[in-house]
Structures are given as structure tokens and as C-alpha cells.
Amino acid sequence: MINLAQLLISGILIGALYGLVAMGFVIIYRGARVFNMAYSQFSVIGAFIAWTFLGSPGSPRLALPLALFLTFLSSLAFGLVIEHFIFRRMIGRPLFATFILTLGLWSILYGVVLQVWGAEPRTFAYSLPKGAVNLGPIVLSQEYIWSFVLAVIILAVFVIFFRRTKLGLAMRASYDNEVAARCLGVNAGLNSKISWAVCALLATLAGFVIASARGVSLALGDLVMVVLAVALMGGLDSLIGCVIGGLILAIGENLVSYYLNPFLPGIGTIFGMILILLVLLTRPRGLFGAKSIERV
């Protein structure tokens, strides 16, 4: 029973983190209509840039606030560059063409990371506070609590942004009907820029948070790949769906890897993919997604 409670609670904490990771993915889908397969690599690059500024535990380079500031600044620039040189040209092209394009981008970024930073794993000089927290018999790790808090705050910020601010409403309007939104004076180019910047920022943040718990390496990309499962489960265009999807995935992953691992070693790593298949086969629009997927 205590085991189950432990699995559930740590699942909730990790689930919020997954939700945070998926948020950037959903925002780019809503804002620029791009199904970004390269998203996991955005996180990896963000984490490696953060490592470059922070340094490893033996040889720290910059103080944490300065390093984080520089990291986020460079990821902002990265997002804008990607938007300007690649995705600006793809506005009005079929969704599918941009999908393949993001596959190419994924490959490029993977190669760049492999070339610049190499394949060996690293750790940050500073990271979120570590250590265990005891809640009675339940043991939780501190960095997951921090990432949970972070995810909740960011989710709240984005929900308010999309519901209350003029810019957020404009972005939703142009997601709904781009031509009509343009006619009403919404700046579609600006929307696209903002979405890419926010996407890169969130990817970097997620990369930093995950990497501070599990180390910086290319394997981070596989972890972030679960956003596909999370985003598809929540419905590609719903922020709340992200968090719910993240919770389902994380709790399911915890339970499955605890109870089934003795019989099927490694089932936890594949659980996200199984979930993708299940969701797409049973309810393609996800739990909270808008009804129509695509023109038939």
C-alpha cells in the first residue's frame, strides 16, 4: 500500500514535469501549426548550453542566475533563428511538409550536439536542490518537488496568457482561423515568432530541469520524446490536457515499471510509445483535444 502511494505521489510530481515539457510542444502546435518532432532536441541543446555556461561540478564557470539568464537568452535567439530561416518559409505549406522538415531539423540538431558536446554524459555545477524529503514513510526527491512547483507556476502563467491577454487571444484566434484573424488585424508573423521563442524557452527550461535531476546527455532526448505521448493524449491543442496527459503517463510509467519490470525488463521506457498507440487507436483527438483533426 505504501509502495502504491509512493508510486502515485512521485508519479504526480514527475507528471507535472512531463506536462511542463509537453507545454512547449503544444504551444508551437497552437501558435505556428507545426508538429515539432525536433522538440526533444531543442531540450537537449538547451541543457547542453546551460551546461556550457554553468560548467561541471569540478570546474564551475558562471554563477547560477547569470548562467540561466544567458541560457534563456541564447535559447530565445535559437528559437527566433529557426523561425526566421526555416519555418517562416513554410507558412501556407501543407502541415505534412513541415512535419518532414522537423524530422530533418531533428537530425541536424542531433548531429550538431554530437559534434559540439559529444556523447558522454555530464552534470551541472549547480542545479535544483537535491536530496530526499520524507513524508512519513514516503520518500520523495527534492528536485521533483521543485520542478512540480515550477510546472504549476508556468502552467498558470500560460493559462492566464491565453485567456486574458490581448496577445494570447490573438494567438488563439489565429490558431482557430488564420485568414479571419489576419483580416481582423492580428499579426500572424509576430504570433509565429512568439510561439517559436516560447517553444525554445520552454524546451530549454524543461531540458534544464530534467538534466539537473538525471544528468546532461543525448539520452535526454529520449526522455523528452515522451512529450509526443503526453501531447497526443491531452489533445494537441489543450494546455490543461498537457498536465493531465503528463500525470497519466508518469503514474502509468511508475506503476508499469514497478509491477511489470520483473517480467518484461525495460517496459517502463517503452510505455510512452505503447500509450501513443493506444491513444491514437482509440481516441485520436486525445482527451481534451478539439474535435476535428484534419480535413478529410
What residues make contact with another protein under the rule CB under 8 A? 35, 86, 89-90, 93, 95-97, 99-101, 103-112, 114-115, 228, 232, 264-267, 270, 273-274, 276-277, 280-281, 284, 293-294, 296
Nearer Cβ to another protein, position 10 or 40?
Answer: 40
Considering beta carbons, is residue 45 or 228 the nearer one to another protein? Answer: 228
Amino acid at 11: G
Q: Give min distance, CB of 3 to another protein, in A.
A: 25
Q: Please identify which residue in the block is written with the cell numbers 524546451.
A: 203
Residue with Cβ nearer another protein (110 or 162): 110
User: Which residues 6+ apart lie within 8 Å of 291 measured at CB?
Assistant: 285
CB of 274 to another protein, least distance (A): 6
Grid coordinates of 30:
497552437
Q: Which is nearer to another protein, 35 or 126 (CB)?
A: 35
Q: Closest distance between another protein and the C-beta of residue 194, in Å?
A: 22
DSSP conformational letter for 122: B
* 20 or 229: CB nearest another protein: 229
**Looking at the chain, how many residues does it have?**
296
Q: Enter the DSSP assignment of 93.
A: S
CB 235, min distance to another protein, A = 12
Tell the smallest beta-carbon distance from residue 142 to another protein (Å).
Answer: 32
CB burial string 250-288: b at 16+ within 10 A, e below:
bbbbbbbbeeeeeeeeebbeebbeebbeebeeeeebbbb
Identity of the residue, 59 or 294, whose beta carbon is nearer to another protein in the bound complex? 294
Residue 230 has φ and ψ, to the nearest 5°, of -60, -50
User: 140: which strand partners?
Assistant: 133
Q: How far is the CB of 264 from another protein (least distance, A)?
A: 6
User: Residue 135's beta-bridge partner residues?
Assistant: 138
In the bound state with another protein, the residue whose beta carbon lies nearer, of 205 and 226, is: 226
To another protein, the closest distance from the beta carbon of 136 in angstroms equals: 36
Percent composition of the chain: helix, strand, coil (DSSP 3-state, to 5): 70, 5, 25
SS (HEC) of 139-188: EEEHHHHHHHHHHHHHHHHHHHHHHHCHHHHHHHHHHHCHHHHHHCCCCH
